[in-house]
Amino acid sequence: MATAKKKTSSKKPKTGGTKIEFVSAPSHTITPFLMFNANTEEAAKFYVSIFKKSKIIQASPMRAEFILNGQKFYAYNGGPEFQFNWGVSFMISLETQKEVDYYWNALLADGGKESMCGWLQDKYGLWWQVTPKILIQLISHKDPSKAERAMQAMLKMQKIDIAALQLAVR
């Protein structure tokens, strides 16, 4: 079976000097397609303002195409019958508590809602999991008692607290 070669194209940096690089892939690539109730252009601008390696490719009140941390998204304004639910969410894998705090606060800004276990819903209704990598490591620890203690600690949290997780497994 032949493998497709990825092409790399450099994009000009957005304001602020961040270089955006999008790696294209074969035509069967999966791209998230978000159907918003309204405010598609506003939502795209909101997300691009949060994620550092991001860029709006094109945006209007009806549709937007943008890149967040190298992942392309399409968005359309479909009307009030379109609502997001937490059956589909976007997980942000992070290293530090500072990063967790940043994304948690930024995505909750202006009307988002906290949920449990690192989940939140932003002001546009989209669901996010703000997840430090250590959480996944600890809840899948080879020692079942440590994994269980990490899981029980996580279940009591809204925003994930890395120090509290580490303390729970000691």
Q: Is the pLDDT of residue 9 over 80?
A: no
For 51-91, write each residue's pLDDT tens digit: 999 999 999 999 999 999 999 999 999 989 999 999 999 99
pLDDT of residue 104: 98
The reply to whether domains 29-83 and 85-169 share a CATH topology is yes
Mean pLDDT of 94-122: 98
Domains of the chain, residue spans: 29-83, 85-169
pLDDT of residue 13: 47
pLDDT of residue 19: 65
The sign of the dihedral angle between the CA atoms of 154, 156, 158, 164 is: negative
Q: Which CATH number fits domain 29-83: 2.80.10.50, 3.30.950.10, 3.40.50.720, 3.10.180.10?
A: 3.10.180.10
Q: Is the pLDDT of residue 161 over 60?
A: yes
Q: Is the pLDDT of residue 27 over 80?
A: no
The architecture in CATH of the region 85-169 reads Roll (3.10)
Q: Are 133 and 92 in contact (CB under 8 A)?
A: no
Q: Distance between CA atoms of 134 and 118, rounded to whole angstroms?
A: 13
Q: Quick one: pLDDT band at residue 38, thresholds 50, 70, 90? A: confident
Q: Distance between CA atoms of 170 and 152, rounded to whole angstroms?
A: 13
44: CB partners within 8 A, 6+ apart:
56, 59, 64, 66, 73, 75
Q: Distance between CA atoms of 42 and 126, rounded to whole angstroms?
A: 14
pLDDT of residue 29: 86
Please state whether the predicted TM-score (pTM) of the whole model is above 0.85.
no
Mean pLDDT of 125-129: 97
